[in-house]
Structure 1
Amino acid sequence: MQSTYGLTPDSWEIVLEPDTPAASWSADQVAMAIKAAGERLVASGFTPNFVAPSTTSASTAPGYIDQIAATPGSMQYVKEFSYHRYAGVSQSVLQSIADRAILFGKRTSMLEWIGADQHTLHDDIKFGRISAWQQYTLAFIEAGQGDNGAQYYQIHDQNPANPSISLGTRSKYLRHYFRFVRAGAQRIEAISGNGNFDPVAFINTDGKFVVVVKAQVGGTFRVRNLPNGVYGIKYSTGSTYDVGLADVSLAIGQVLTTTIPASGVMTIYRK
């Protein structure tokens, strides 16, 4: 790949979903494979960055991570602890993965669940401390499966000479995170005294703040402690998409007050 195309992968997965009957890789096999492959890559002049264990069940990921840690020479080649969400998901499981990431200085990622939506992403951010996330694929031919949350864009090819592309219903909400929280952003703490309005907050690499609020109901809320500046506000609900409100100019110490008309997702972002 490098000699032919001039490309070097940013990272590798040693095996996909090792806990399935089809793959059936033990935690020890995964750990030893990472060690062996990492040593060979280093010997060839590369810097290994493995993403693991990418288990189908989130609850089996901690055991695989522990085995990687227990295998001398393996953990040094891992940059990210990954999991899928097809089984074994709970707040405590997500936190146990996040705890191991903190302990070993790694990132975390949720890399597959067909049907994942904004509620999924929000929990993975808050409890799993993820740095990467995806449903399944970017775009896919509908093939009679409907809007099942496997892809952000559906390709409709009933007329092959004139196919069309549509945005998935879940994507309209997910866009509020993806569009405004850019690569390299740092998450910061955000808390709410009202469980109907659940925030996550970030500082992008340009120093600009972003707050994404998952609203269970329509209503008015206030955001405190934003730096001064001009903020854009956008929201999507079940009946609206990407609605922009008037920009708000905040002075130092001023509180931002805004309203979402129904349950949905709102993003407040520094311009």
Structure 2
Amino acid sequence: MEVVIVADARSGGDLVAEAVASLIDRRPDALLGVATGSTPAPVYEALAARARSGRVDTKALRIAQLDEYVGLPPEHPESYRAVIRREVLEPLGLDDDAFLGPDGMAADLSEACSAYDRALAAAGGVDLQLLGIGTDGHIGFNEPCSSLASRTRIKTLTRRTRRDNARFFDDDEERVPRHVITQGVGTILEARHLVLFATGEGKAEAVAAAVEGPVSAACPASALQLHPHATIVVDEAAASALTRADYFRQAYAAKPDWQGL
């Protein structure tokens, strides 16, 4: 696991976008796993700016969804399919043919979950999965005590997560769906490169638990310690609870440029 501490969200977004652009240069039809929420917005903005300027050609890029609310139709503005279309696909000049995601409106939700795992495998697997982290250490919607071997499945959101997400629903917690489809921790760990991006002091304790704490289902993000290529990009505020922050800064400063992320 590599920890990279950046000055702020904008510089972190630019760094991660450059890693994605480098991946696309190597593999134009890469499958990029995307997360939603406010944290990854600087990544998508920086990547879109590169696409507009011609610095990266995204026309063959494919996009895979991390999770989806159950019961929100795709046209609902806060369904994650709509968010990804708005914040990722359209700015990168991609259409729905480039998109893979689970069906949160399926009559048979369990089969929809299994079908999504099969679709990811058939697509060759995720090349780079962008992740956020919840204040309780969740990744995707794998709440604390999720199995670290879990596959894509239905989960019930905690009160804390619904409260955190209420800002997208006019601050009305009761409007936040109670259930989601999420890639499981085991599914997430199959991506070739995991990049967790976190900003703000509110994420500091969760980041510290994920990076420096024990590997435990109590903090699902700690499973990234088991991955052969996991990168944690955090701003100074999100890094504020790390006891080894000085070492992480020294290690990154000494890293050869050719290694990239």
TM-score greater than 0.5 by the shorter chain? no
Q: Which has the larger radius of gyration?
A: 1
**Which structure: greater strand fraction?**
1
Larger RCO (CA within 8 A; separation ≥ 6): 2
